[in-house]
Structure 1
Amino acid sequence: MTAENMQSNESNESLDASKYSYDIVPYPSHPFRQTHPERLHAISRMFGMSPAEITQCRVLEIGCAGGGNIIPMAETLPESQFVGIDLSQRQIESALSSVEKLGLTNIELKHLDVMDVDQSLGKFDYIICHGVFSWVPPDAQDKILAVCRDHLNPQGVALVSYNTLPGWRLRGAIRDMMSYHVRNLSDPTKKIQQARALLEFLASSVSAETGAYGKMIHSELNLLKNQTDNYLYHDHLEMNNYQFYFHQFIEQANKHNLQYLAESHIATMWTGNFAKDVAQTLERVAPDIIQREQYADFVRNRMFRQTILCAKGTKLDRALNENTLNGSWINSPMRMIEKDPAKNFPENTVSFRNLQTNQGLNTSDPLMITAIEYLGDQFPLAVSFDDLLARVQTKAEELGNVEMSQLRRAMANNMIHLAVGGVVELSYTPNRFTREISVKPKTSGVARLQAASVDRLTNARHEIIKLDDLTRHIVTMIDGEKTHHEIRNGLKDMLHNGKLTMRKDGEPMPAPNGEMLEKIATEAVAKAMQRLSKAAMLIS
């Protein structure tokens, strides 16, 4: 779609109000790690609450769509109960089909308007409302908060995400332009085509060098041109799209007897992640956490929040200390990198980088080096704080410097600083997966179901993992019942019956036979197992 394809809108009948837009254009349903009960449990426990253990809890998701977020939770936490509601009948039917194929009995999915939720739904320990609040009218927003108030257990928490100001101010201008351009169109495909055409027209007509406005147009175009049509349609062309200053959202929550607990990414809450002078100013001008978070949004030009709420009056303690690490598990994809030669580090300094958050760490402390190397080596597995401490203690004994109480306190403080800095992640839940490649390896039922049709699968860390075509076909056979030999035979059958095609220089070639085929299958399965082990795809 180019600027030349941009057309003036012909008057057209508006979309029938009885046809819900998510039935017409379904929104992709994915796992969101930051919404998982494990994350909500960890943050609420860190801040002084006594949340329900995630192995025995009740979870409600408002706006569950096709179940991509809630269904994997239900499979991996079979003793907990899950309820998902959504206004799109088409997406609920799709989700129910998946539940039936997986044979899950601990999840209930309802075609239900949030406005019709009543006490019959019961109480929950965790409520999730991700990607909904900003895209529904004010009365529905009010109802969402009322549901959180009325359906949370006393130590329950709710995650609500929403678009924020001031960051959405400039993006909202682009949305307004697209909405104006497609105002008389009803067909979703035409709306999307013309919205993209307008963006191309603006990009070709406004130079990126013409100040802030030009930079804004080109920044949005670069963002949106790589997004899917359903993202563009629902996130930017929906009738409802509301943005809030953080203090406005909290004021609205307070009216429903809900209070601010935290953000699902706690690193965004720590002023230490700002430059020193900025952090000092924030501490001075913003004496309470609500003001501090609001001023931080001003500084960051924040566009989106994922806020965790709890009942007003719940006792909180955000002063993290040594006791915070009791019973904790720590994970981090830290890798050693080359030191920056431009910086004058001591000779024995080692540099690390978190491969997911891109946060870095430079340290010359041999005990911290030991700890970080161990976390990186074990990832994606989490390491219990006690195991980490034992590893560090061994190193300390080698150095002849051990005073256990001081060592524990120092290592706990270090881990807390790394957690709020976004370098490591804390939880209080043991691993639900393994790196061990067993005789009869197993992937989740969700992953096997997904692998039958798509290459983006949900791993045991509740993340999306993109696999190559060969590995995803192998995943469909890793069910805990088949040996490696049987999986290899299954792969050979796929090659012979044409389900999988071998290629050379991009051209298809016939599958070999005999020893060559056995060698290819053996190597392919072995490599796939290693990939899956490192991607948290294998479960015990």
Structure 2
Amino acid sequence: MAEVVDAAPFAYDAIQYPSGVNALQTPDRIRAAGLLHGWRGPDPATASILEIGCGDGYNLMGIAAVSPQACCVGFDLSRAAIARGRDVLALSGLANVELAVGDVATYPLAGEGFDYIICHGVYTWIPYFVRQPLLDLIGARLKPGGVAYISFDALPAAAPKAAINRFLVKRVADIAGLEARVDAAVRLLAILARNQHSQSRLKVQLDQLMNDLPRYMQGYFVHDWLAEHYAPITLADFRAAAGTAGLRCAGDASLFDLYTGDLDDEAKALLAQASDDPAERSNIMEILRGAHQFRRELLVRVDAPPPPAPNGLDELSFGYMGERIESRDEEGEAIIAYTDGAAHVVARTPLVCAVMDELLTVSPNELTLADLAERIGGDRVILAGEVRRLAIRTLVTAHGTPQNFTTSPGERPRTPGLVRAMMSLGPDTITLRHSKLSLEHNADQELTRTFLTLCDGSRSRADIAQALTAQSGQEITPQKVDDAVTRFAAARLFEP
């Protein structure tokens, strides 16, 4: 693909957007979501993957690191972001990634197709006239049976955010300097938050924003809340635009549209009317709940969708990275709950406890449905139903590919080339299950980064201890290396 050579200055070149590492936008999790929705996406291990608006390409490189036979292509309008990604790519040893500067409006519609197309956080942050070309590009380059992931802010939930965005952008537009614009915007937000009427439809959004603001990275705040182009869209309008490109919605990647456990009977009956239309089901869920601002839609070709997979659960592996909490209610009855900090489930039956305890026992390793059936016994159909419900609740993570990490590295432990490259450049890296691991607040950050870069498979643990001792000037014993290997193996950083 020819690179853009005469593009106008771009906001994302001037202000870096934080590097994105999001497991939901990987073929592994996309395929898992599809299987839970009842259809089978292509095998991620050998898939061709295009990421539109890939930024620095970290997300794409994380995908490539666990699927060396996959072909990964990404483009972005930001030259600075692509340059950062290429620096990491050059050190990583990855031979299956291509990063390029490119524009949605001019990217070729003709060419080799892709099994997976990913477009995260672009659609509602670009001008209206670019939106249909973006969907047309996906429709043109998605292979038969392929799956696209596209995320965007949606109405009605995003209406307060859109109003706040327009208010801020208008009032800081003429302020010179990034820091001054951000400071002015934050002051305006504080004024708005303090003066909301108790019945204000903006109050919930403002209260949440003010609570989250101290943790926001500046680049995220600027490109999201001060975005020049920001216009959320209803799911119905998005579905119509996708249809024009020969695409249809096939479910939500976050599985939001599958969880009905807290709906009453009349709501479930309403949903049943759309049992054969995933897009309409999602639309009904959106109105029923009214709280999903950020959508993660899965798109497939109207003329060639993926094949059905009625027994898709058998193709998944399941993991749990949380804890078990035991307490008692006011009457002294035992309460057993499981939480990972984001999702929370109270175990109402012995079977739920059995499933969660087995997953907790092997964590961070994973188990298939067959593994769980062998360990727990009982009725396979009932077990499958319970596992599916836990996966839909997202407390249990469903994976569409087998784990490609080991929790028992050998005498010569090996981290992927991408981990070593990222550790040589900074405090963050990507695990082999596509989560972000940061050493930013680690007291021994430099020593730890050096340790992980030395784990290239060529050195014994004693060799690593000796090299660390020589480089750090402090005694690093083989036992300390063993402890570090155990700790970072639990973080899923070592290759089998």
Provide the TM-score with structure 1 as the length reference.
0.83
CA distance in 1, matches of 2:269, 2:383: 29
Aligned to 2:206: 217
Match among 297, 311, 333 for residue 321 of structure 2: 333
Match among 394, 414, 423 for residue 451 of structure 1: 423
CA distance in 1, matches of 2:189, 2:348: 46
CA distance in 1, matches of 2:388, 2:103: 41
Checking the alignment, whether the CA contact within 8 Å between 2:359 and 2:367 is kept in structure 1 is yes
Match among 216, 235, 242 for residue 253 of structure 1: 242
Aligned to 2:172: 182
Query: SS in structure 1 opposite 2:398?
Result: strand
Query: SS in structure 1 opposite 2:152?
Result: strand
C-alpha spacing 1:273/1:112, structure 2 compared with 1 (3 Å) = same
Match among 360, 367, 370 for residue 345 of structure 2: 360
Match among 476, 482, 485 for residue 453 of structure 2: 476
Equivalences for 1:81-100 in 2 at 5 Å?
81-100=71-90
Q: Which stretch has the larger CA shift, 148-157 or 47-56?
A: 47-56
- Could you report, residue by residue, the CA deviation over 1:49-105 in whole angstroms, capped at 9, with x for unpaired residues? 443211111000000111110012112211111110111112112212222212222
CA distance in 2, matches of 1:284, 1:41: 24
CA distance in 1, matches of 2:395, 2:227: 36
Aligned to 2:11: 21
Q: Which stretch has the larger CA shift, 171-180 or 45-54?
A: 45-54
Aligned to 2:361: 377
CA distance in 2, matches of 1:181, 1:362: 50
Match among 478, 490, 496 for residue 534 of structure 1: 490
C-alpha spacing 1:160/1:342, structure 2 compared with 1 (3 Å) = farther
- Could you report, residue by residue, the CA deviation over 1:366-411 in whole angstroms, capped at 9, with x for unpaired residues? x553332111121222212222221123xx6xxxxxxxxxx22222
Alignment size in residue pairs: 484
Aligned to 1:487: 464
C-alpha spacing 1:385/1:531, structure 2 compared with 1 (3 Å) = same
Offset of 1:112 from its aligned partner?
A: 0.9
Structure 1, unaligned stretches of length 5 or more? 1-15, 397-406, 497-510, 512-516
Q: Which stretch has the larger CA shift, 161-170 or 291-300?
A: 291-300
Q: Which stretch has the larger CA shift, 241-250 or 151-160?
A: 241-250
- Could you report, residue by residue, the CA deviation over 1:332-374 in whole angstroms, capped at 9, with x for unpaired residues? 22532114414785x6xx6231315422141443x55333211
Amino acid at match of 1:415: V
Aligned to 2:54: 64
Equivalences for 1:369-518 in 2 at 5 Å?
369-393=353-377, 407-467=379-439, 468=442, 469=445, 470-496=447-473, 511=474, 517-518=475-476
- Could you report, residue by residue, the CA deviation over 1:414-455 in whole angstroms, capped at 9, with x for unpaired residues? 212222232323234211001003211111222222222432
Where relative contact order (Cα < 8 A, 6+ residues apart) is larger, the structure is 2
- Could you report, residue by residue, the CA deviation over 1:437-492 in whole angstroms, capped at 9, with x for unpaired residues? 32111112222222224323210000112332243332122111121112212222
Q: Which stretch has the larger CA shift, 241-250 or 412-421?
A: 412-421
C-alpha spacing 1:372/1:185, structure 2 compared with 1 (3 Å) = same
Query: SS in structure 2 opposite 1:262?
Result: strand
Amino acid at match of 2:66: T
Amino acid at match of 2:214: K
CA distance in 2, matches of 1:421, 1:344: 27
Match among 230, 246, 252 for residue 263 of structure 1: 252
C-alpha spacing 1:175/1:523, structure 2 compared with 1 (3 Å) = farther
C-alpha spacing 1:23/1:259, structure 2 compared with 1 (3 Å) = same
C-alpha spacing 1:177/1:123, structure 2 compared with 1 (3 Å) = same
User: Is 1:139 paired with 2:129?
Assistant: yes
Query: SS in structure 2 opposite 1:225?
Result: helix
User: Is 1:302 paired with 2:279?
Assistant: no
Checking the alignment, whether the CA contact within 8 Å between 2:355 and 2:387 is kept in structure 1 is no
Query: SS in structure 2 opposite 1:305?
Result: strand
Equivalences for 1:305-316 in 2 at 5 Å?
305-314=295-304
C-alpha spacing 1:412/1:452, structure 2 compared with 1 (3 Å) = same
Equivalences for 1:196-211 in 2 at 5 Å?
196-203=186-193, 206=195
Aligned to 1:108: 98
CA distance in 2, matches of 1:414, 1:424: 11
Give RMSD over aligned pairs. Answer: 2.7
Match among 242, 255, 262 for residue 274 of structure 1: 262
Query: SS in structure 1 opposite 2:49?
Result: strand
CA distance in 2, matches of 1:121, 1:431: 32
Aligned to 1:152: 142
Aligned to 2:3: none
C-alpha spacing 1:197/1:121, structure 2 compared with 1 (3 Å) = farther
Offset of 1:208 from its aligned partner?
A: 8.3
Percent identity, please. 24
CA distance in 2, matches of 1:261, 1:295: 14
CA distance in 2, matches of 1:93, 1:143: 25
C-alpha spacing 1:248/1:436, structure 2 compared with 1 (3 Å) = same
Aligned to 1:9: none
C-alpha spacing 1:527/1:279, structure 2 compared with 1 (3 Å) = farther
C-alpha spacing 1:150/1:212, structure 2 compared with 1 (3 Å) = closer
Offset of 1:200 from its aligned partner?
A: 3.6
Query: SS in structure 1 opposite 2:312?
Result: helix
